[in-house]
Amino acid sequence: MKVVDSHVHLYSRSHLAELAWMTPGHALARDCRLAEYVADARGLPPGRDLAGIVFVEADRVQSAADWSGPENEFAFAGRCLRGQLAPDEGPNAHADLVVGVVPWAPLPQGPAAMEAFVAALKERDAVAFESVKGFRYLVQDKPPGVMTAPAFVESLRWMGERGLAFDVGIDLHRAGPGQFVEAVAMVSAAPDTTYVFNHLGKPVLTALPAPGDGRFAAWRAALAELAGFRTYVKLSGVFAELPPGAADETALALVYPWVAAVFELFGPERVLWASDWPVCTVEGGADSVGRWARLTDALLRRLGVDAAGQAMVWHGAAARAYRLV
300-325 burial: b if 16+ Cβ within 10 Å, else e: beebebeeebbbbbbbbbbbebbebe
Question: Do 49 and 1 meet the contact criterion of CB atoms below 8 Å apart?
Answer: yes
pLDDT higher than 80, residue 310: yes
> How many domains in the chain?
1
Between CA 294 and CA 271 the distance in angstroms is: 16
Cβ atoms of residues 235 and 273 within 8 Å? yes
Q: Which domain holds residue 224?
A: 2-322
Average pLDDT over residues 138-165: 98
Give the pLDDT mean for 264-282.
Answer: 98
Predicted confidence (pLDDT) per residue in 179-190, tens digit: 999 999 999 999
Question: For residue 136, what pLDDT is reported?
Answer: 98
Residue 97, pLDDT above cutoff 90: yes
Please determine, for residue 126, whether its predicted confidence score (pLDDT) is greater than 80.
Answer: yes
Ranges of H-type helices in 104-204 = 111-129, 150-161, 172-175, 178-189
d(CA 50, CA 56): 17
CB neighbour list of residue 203: distance below 8 Å, 6 or more residues apart: 172, 173, 216, 219, 241, 255, 258
**174 pLDDT higher than 90:** yes
- Tell me: pLDDT of 173 over 90: yes
CA distances from 69 to 18, 72, 73, 263 (A): 6, 5, 6, 37
Single pTM value for the model = 0.97
- Say which CATH number the domain at 137 has: 3.20.20.140
d(CA 135, CA 140): 15
The percentage of the chain sitting over the pLDDT mark of 70, rounded to a whole number, equals 100
Q: What is the mean pLDDT of residues 139-159?
A: 98
Model confidence band, residue 95 (pLDDT cutoffs 50, 70, 90):
very high
Give how far Cα 118 sits from Cα of 4, 74, 82, 150, 287, Å.
26, 11, 20, 20, 37
d(CA 53, CA 274) in angstroms, rounded, equals 9
pLDDT for residue 325 is more than 80: no
- What does the DSSP 8-state code read for residue 267? -
Give the pLDDT band of residue 32 (cuts 50, 70, 90). Answer: very high
